[in-house]
Chain A
Amino acid sequence: MLDFMENVQNAFYEASHWNLDNSYGALNATARALLDFQTPKGLRLQISSLAAPNFATSYTLGTVGVVDGSVSYLYSSLPLTRELRTSSLELHHVIKGYRHLQNLRKPDEDWWWEVWHAGQRIDRRDTLLYGRIFLPQSRLEALYLRRLSPTRQLRISAVSDSNLNNGGTILTLLQNDTGKYSTEYMYSTDSALMGVRGLYNFGADPKAAPMAPITAPQIAEPVHGRFSAGAELYYGLLNKSGGLSTGLRFTTLPNHTGFPYTMTLTMNPLMGNLSSTYAVKAGPNLALCSRFDFNFYSYESELQLGCELWRRRRNTEVDWAVKKLRPDWKRPTTAPDDDVSGILKARVDQDWRIGLSWEGRIKELLFTLGASLDLKKREQIFRVVGIELQYSS
Chain B
Amino acid sequence: MAFNFNWSPLMADTSRARDMLTAALNKSPKPPIIVDDIIVTELNLGSTPPELEILEVGDLAEDRFRGIFKMSYTGDAFLTLKTKVQANPLNTYLSTKPDFASPQPLAAAASLTIPLQITLSDIRLSGFVILVFSKQKGLTLVFRNDPLESLKVSSTFDSIPFVRDYLQKEIEGQLRVLFMEDLPAIIHRLSLRLWSSEYEELETEQRLDNTKDTTVPIDPLSTPPQDAVDAFGNPLDPDQISALSLDDPNSEAHGSFSQKNINRLAALSESQHTLSLFTPEMREVVYRAWAGQSDRAESGANTPSLTRSSLSRIQSTFGTAKSAGSSVMSDSTGNETLNSRPSLTSNNSALAGLSLGAGRTRANQMRNRKKRVVDLRKGGDGAESSGISTGAANTPLTSANVSETASVIPEEREEELITPPRSPPRAGRKSEKTATTDGLLPAAPLLESPPKFSKSKQKTTKGVPSTPIREPDVNSASRPPLSSNRLRPARQTTSPLLRSLSFDKVTTLTSGAKKSPKSKEAAESSGGILEQAWMLKMAQEIAKKVQEHKEREAAEMDAPPAYVA
Contacts and interface: CB of A to CB of B under 8 A. Distances in A.
Q: Do A and B come from one complex?
A: yes
Interface of A: 24-25, 27-28, 139, 141, 143, 157-159, 161, 164, 169-171, 173, 186, 188, 190-191, 193, 195, 197, 230, 232-234, 236, 239-245, 247, 266-268, 270-273, 275, 293, 295, 297-298, 300
Interface of B: 87-90, 93, 97-98, 100-114, 162
A172 to B, nearest CB: 10
B535 to A, nearest CB: 59
A199 to B, nearest CB: 10
B108 A245 contact: yes
B113 A186 contact: no
A25 B100 contact: no
Nearest to A32: B106
B106 A243 contact: no
A194 to B, nearest CB: 10
Given A193-B93, A300-B113, A241 B162 contact: yes
For the complex of A and B, list the 8 residue pairs with the smallest distance between their C-beta atoms, beginning with the closest.
Answer: A243-B108, A273-B110, A245-B107, A241-B89, A243-B90, A266-B107, A271-B112, A171-B101
B104 A25 contact: yes
A243 B88 contact: yes
B258 to A, nearest CB: 53
Given A273-B110, A298-B113, A234 B101 contact: no
Given A236-B89, A241-B89, A25 B98 contact: no
Contacts of B104: 25
Contacts of B107: 232, 245, 247, 266-268, 273, 275
13 contacts: A25-B104, A157-B101, A169-B98, A188-B103, A233-B108, A234-B108, A245-B110, A247-B106, A267-B107, A273-B111, A273-B112, A275-B107, A275-B110
B112 to A, nearest CB: 4
A interface secondary structure, majority: strand
Contact of B97 (A158, A190, A197): A190
B31 to A, nearest CB: 13
A275 B162 CA distance: 28
B106 A266 contact: yes
Given A232-B107, A239-B93, A266-B107, 7 more contacts: A24-B106, A27-B106, A159-B98, A159-B101, A170-B101, A171-B101, A293-B110
Contact of A240 (B87, B102, B106, B162): B162
A271 B113 contact: no
A233 B89 CA distance: 13
A261 B106 CA distance: 20
B94 to A, nearest CB: 9
Given A232-B108, A298-B113, A186 B90 contact: no
A278 B107 CA distance: 16
A241 B109 CA distance: 12
Contacts of B100: 141, 143, 157, 159
B112 A164 contact: no
A24 B112 CA distance: 22
Nearest to A199: B106
A171 B103 contact: yes
A271 B104 CA distance: 17
A234 B110 contact: no
Given A25-B106, A191-B93, A268-B107, A298 B114 contact: yes
A195 B162 contact: no
Nearest to A241: B89
Given A191-B93, A241-B162, A271-B87, A169 B108 contact: no
B101 A158 contact: yes
A192 to B, nearest CB: 11
Contacts of A266: 106-107
Contact of B106 (A28, A164, A190): A28
A161 to B, nearest CB: 7
Given A245-B110, A268-B108, A297-B112, A236 B103 contact: no
A159 B96 CA distance: 13
Contacts of A293: 110
Contacts of A190: 93, 97, 101
B98 A193 contact: no
Given A242-B90, A243-B89, A195 B105 contact: yes
A169 B112 contact: no
Contacts of B108: 232-234, 243-245, 268, 270
B114 A241 contact: no
Contacts of B103: 171, 173, 186, 188, 193, 195, 234
B274 to A, nearest CB: 73
Contacts of A158: 101
Contacts of B101: 141, 157-159, 169-171, 188, 190
Nearest to A173: B103
B509 to A, nearest CB: 49
A139 B99 CA distance: 13
A169 B113 CA distance: 27
Nearest to A230: B106
Nearest to A235: B90
Contacts of A197: 106
Contacts of A157: 100-101
Nearest to A186: B103
A13 B112 CA distance: 35
Contacts of A273: 107, 110-112
A70 B489 CA distance: 69
A243 B102 contact: no
A74 B144 CA distance: 53
Contacts of A170: 101
A181 B87 CA distance: 32
A254 B109 CA distance: 32
Contacts of A139: 98
A273 to B, nearest CB: 4
Contacts of B88: 243, 270-271
Contacts of B162: 239-241
Contacts of A195: 103, 105
Contacts of B89: 236, 239, 241-243
Query: Chain B CB within 10 Å — which of A193, A268, A293 has the most?
Result: A268
Given A241-B162, A275-B110, A297-B112, A164 B98 contact: yes
B106 A245 contact: yes
A197 B98 CA distance: 20
B109 A243 contact: yes
A158 B111 CA distance: 25
A239 B102 CA distance: 16
Nearest to A171: B101
Contact of A232 (B105, B113, B114): B105
A271 B98 CA distance: 23
Contacts of B98: 139, 141, 159, 161, 164, 169
A85 B112 CA distance: 44
Nearest to B89: A241
Contacts of A169: 97-98, 101
A285 B514 CA distance: 83
B157 to A, nearest CB: 13
A295 B111 CA distance: 9
Contacts of A28: 106
Query: Chain A CB within 10 Å — which of B97, B98, B101 has the most?
Result: B101
Contacts of A25: 104-106
B35 to A, nearest CB: 12
A275 B107 CA distance: 8
Contacts of A271: 87-88, 110-112
Nearest to B108: A243
B112 A234 contact: no
A223 B90 CA distance: 38
A241 B105 CA distance: 14
Given A141-B100, A241-B89, A271-B87, A234 B113 contact: no
Nearest to B162: A240
B112 A298 contact: yes
A226 B184 CA distance: 64
Contacts of B111: 271, 273
A242 B89 CA distance: 7
